[in-house]
Amino acid sequence: MLLRAGLACCAALLLSQARAAISVLDDENHSVILVRPAHRIVSLAPHATELLYAAGAGPYMVGVSEYSDFPPQAQKLTSVGGVSSLDLERVIALKPELVIAWGSGNSAAQVARLRDLGIPVFISEPRNFATIASSIERLGRLAGTEKVAQDAATAFRMRLNKLQQTYRHRPPVKVFYQIWRAPLMTLNNAHLVSSVIRLCGGQNIFGGLPQLAPTVSLEGVLQANPETIFITDASDDAFEEWRRFPKLTAAARGNLFRLDGNLMNRAGPRILDGAEALCKDLDVARSKR
């Protein structure tokens, strides 16, 4: 009888713990399970840092990757190294209860090592607006800050919807989005940046290429003849290459636009700030027709 009662007690305890566990799916559809909200969190990518702060988890963050500079208080946290060159010993020394990793940015071997040590890892890889909003909500659940996260996700969706309503019926504009000069590189339609371009009524001239970040030729750009060219390069001579081609529509009409790379290249809530800027630039291009 005592044995049976003991087994029943243990079963009830395990069932209670199972019910109390926090479980979410990350962006690779892996289950991330915590027995309680994580109050020691390490971010391994700048976009993940911004998502965590948006979710209200800022007070529980103990470490971030290099270039995690927004919001400003993130710069006061312990750095665990670059995205592709993490200091695992430093990560482990922080005794994280949860690590947010970047699926296509962090080393798979290093992420696997953290999991082998029993550290829960959430893989973040937002490729569209919906995943940014749901990421905020899921991270809020893991940190126990659901109310803040839900409010932030709702505000993001409302702002997105307003932009969609505003630019839905704008005439299309051909866009070349340059991310690197030598070699000349761009992004395809699977990247979040192309979601921004589509939101604003733009057409990515290289969107159909299979690679996420393909290398393209100068001749290919000239042949496609985009009406606008966007770059995130802050150097003074960034547009000189394109001004050499006066028959290129983007150059002829002065539709060479610079965007803030931190807004456009990080899959966090500030992507809508970047979207507003890009949408306004496309309207400028339309006005020159």
Cα–Cα distance between 15 and 65 in angstroms, integer?
A: 37
- Residues 254-285, buried b or exposed e (16+ Cβ, 10 A)? ebbbbbeebbbbbbbbbbbebbbbbbebbeeb
CA angle, residues 255, 193, 228, in degrees to nearest 5: 15
pLDDT tens for the 289 residues of the chain, in order: 544 544 444 444 444 444 458 999 999 999 999 999 999 999 999 999 999 999 999 999 999 999 999 999 999 999 999 988 899 999 999 999 999 999 888 999 999 999 999 999 999 999 999 999 999 999 999 999 999 999 999 999 999 999 999 999 999 999 999 999 999 999 999 999 999 999 999 999 999 999 999 999 999 999 999 999 999 987 888 899 999 999 999 999 999 999 999 999 899 999 999 999 999 999 999 999 9
Q: Which two tokens stand for residue 213?
A: 């970040």
End-to-end alpha carbon distance in the chain: 87
Residue pair 218/193 in contact by the 8 Å Cβ criterion: no
Cα–Cα separations (whole angstroms), residue 266 to 73, 192, 262 = 18, 9, 6
pTM of the entire predicted model? 0.88
- Pairing outcome for strands 121-124 and 31-34: unpaired
The pLDDT tens digits for 47-91 are: 999 999 999 999 999 999 999 999 999 999 999 999 888 999 999
Do 44 and 66 contact (CB within 8 A), yes or no? no
What are 199's two structure tokens? 């939101």
Measured distance CA(286)–CA(174) in Å, rounded:
11
Q: What is the pLDDT of residues 193-217, one digit of tens each?
A: 999 999 999 999 999 999 999 999 9
Which among 99, 75, 153, 270 has a CA at the least distance from the CA of 145? 153
Neighbouring C-beta atoms of residue 139, cutoff 10 Å: 31
* Segments of 10-73 assigned E as strands: 22-25, 31-34, 41-43, 61-64
